[in-house]
Structure 1
């Protein structure tokens, strides 16, 4: 792994975080983690905001209540059972089981999930972290049924969103809201605390239409075993568990992943990505074409 401190130019935008070149590179983060001014109003306490800045993530024991969980879980089940949704390009199907793995852009195809995006407990935290109005860069439901649902390999979301969607800066935050219990055994989210402070630029060019393969099984944008070992040795690994209704907020550059679910117990969540309206996507920095808008939004309308 090579340390790189220079920048490159892509079109009219300066590339602060080069990736997908001949070699893997390590670049110190050049952006704030928390963009709002100290003491800015919002639902996150100053202590929790400091922990988020330090670790790159913030667990919330109960973001939504049991009655709300029932509503959102029922909507998830409705969507994955709908033949029209399954046939839509927004749905990603497991290669082996042929079951739905993810459905994208759920805040556009479901008013139930659109209301969740607008909920102040959700969008208010995103505004507070990013210090501005925000729009939805991506939304999806993830479904991990028991007995063999595959995981998501280690990666930084920002590496992909920068390389393939054209997000210039690290001014994006994600929240994973559990709609089933997250156990230590059913393929839960793992994050390397503090890894958000270093950008790992992956080696290898981005194939055209890479998203069609990467959403089922990642290849381009995957760190090397050596880099992941060094990150894990330095930062450790945190596994998130919690009841349905719990949530994990995490920075766009956290190194994270999840394992397969070989237990009988399903793990499902709704995943929302908020980007600052001051960090609109430009052309991709390291890909021949943009990904579809249902994966990387080009509508920058603020959430109201």
Structure 2
């Protein structure tokens, strides 16, 4: 159920100056009712419901992996992208850390975002048609790729993009082997069942700083410790071609990569067409459309 822009009550208040807001229960389903038929079994849907994520190993074929990885390297080396606002640099260098809206830049990556193997699973979990809220590639080269601090994507999408409810998911597609040592995605299983408000008001144009190093919109140390003690931390490792689907409210992050082995992943965010964006709940203005699309056209 989408929230009307005029609705005065925020179901997930956050970004309080004094940090006085406590942990809130999730008000939304994880697997939404009326899910269309799809490739996920009842047991897989139940696992996703309980843990907040599910991995399909070797979903892509070797030839596909080669095509997409070649495309990622081409984007990272494209001089035309060096000064494009869709390219985000590392916090301590001029190296490209992420590129957003890759489905609009690259034909192969557009085909990946529309791949029925991904879309059918997203529809099944979210119980409706879906559209692409965001795409990006995250590079973590060997010998110094930086990490991403603990956060819930939904906290940011709700605060800064105006996403009303937890009816979205991300797919992380590994185009290199994700090893325990090269900075893989880490998730706290079950953390999606509670919403953790964050302290601090959102400044204007916050995305310009937060995409390089996020501070506002991240939980405090006591919150991270409490969630980790309660849920544990699981590394999402696996061979290239694997795809991990995870709920928008999962607490997740990743370490840096000082190994010789690069880690390169594509992230595609699918949102329900019944959960389209309104005005931001806790930010002075919308983020740019290359970060949060307002083209709510169903995939396919």
TM-score (norm 2): 0.96
Alignment match of 2:54 (pick from 49, 54, 58): 58
Question: Is 1:270 paired with 2:266?
Answer: yes
**Match in the other structure for 1:19:** 14
Root mean square deviation of aligned Cα: 1.3
In structure 1, C-alpha distance between the alignment counterparts of 2:195 and 2:252, rounded to whole Å: 13
Query: How far did residue 95 of structure 1 move?
Result: 2.8
Match of 1:74 among 70, 77, 87: 70
Query: Does 2:123 align with 1:132?
Result: no
Q: CA deviation at 1:93?
A: 0.9
Are residues 1:210 and 2:206 paired? yes
Q: Which residue of 1 aligns with 2:220?
A: 224
- 1:14-36, CA deviations, whole angstroms, 9 ceiling, x for partnerless residues? 31000001224211000000014
Q: Do 1:75 and 1:112's aligned partners in 2 also have CA atoms closer than 8 Å?
A: yes
Distance, in Å, in 1 between the alignment partners of 2:94 and 2:197 is 32
> What are the residue-to-residue correspondences of 1:1-304 with 2, within 5 Å?
11-12=6-7, 14-21=9-16, 22-23=18-19, 24-37=21-34, 40-304=36-300
Alignment gaps of 5+ in structure 1: 1-8
Distance 1:36 1:208 in 2: 37
Measured in 2, the distance between the counterparts of 1:69 and 1:172 equals 25
What are structure 2's unaligned runs of at least 5 residues?
Answer: none
**Cα pair 1:147 1:262 within 8 Å, conserved:** yes
Q: Are 1:36 and 1:132, in contact at CA under 8 Å, matched by a contact in 2?
A: no
- TM-score, normalization by structure 1: 0.95
Determine if contact 2:5/2:278 at 8 Å carries over to the other structure.
no
1:288 partner SS:
coil
Aligned to 1:3: none
- Note the C-alpha offset of 1:84: 0.7
Cα deviation, residue 177, structure 1: 0.2
Find the aligned partners of 2:78 and 2:293 in 1 and give their Cα distance: 24
Q: Distance in 2 between the 1:121 and 1:36 partners?
A: 21
Partner SS for 1:84: helix
Distance, in Å, in 2 between the alignment partners of 1:121 and 1:145 is 28
Q: Is the 8 A contact 2:40 2:124 kept in 1?
A: yes
Deviation at 1:139, TM superposition (A): 0.2
1:172 positional shift = 0.2
1:85 deviation in Å?
Answer: 1.6
Kept in 1: contact 2:175–2:265 (CA 8 A): yes
Tell me if the contact between 2:151 and 2:252 (Cα under 8 Å) persists in the aligned partners.
Answer: yes
1:10 positional shift: 7.3
Counterpart CA distance in 2 for 1:210 and 1:83 is: 26
- How far apart, CA to CA, are the structure 1 residues paired with 2:224 and 2:59? 31
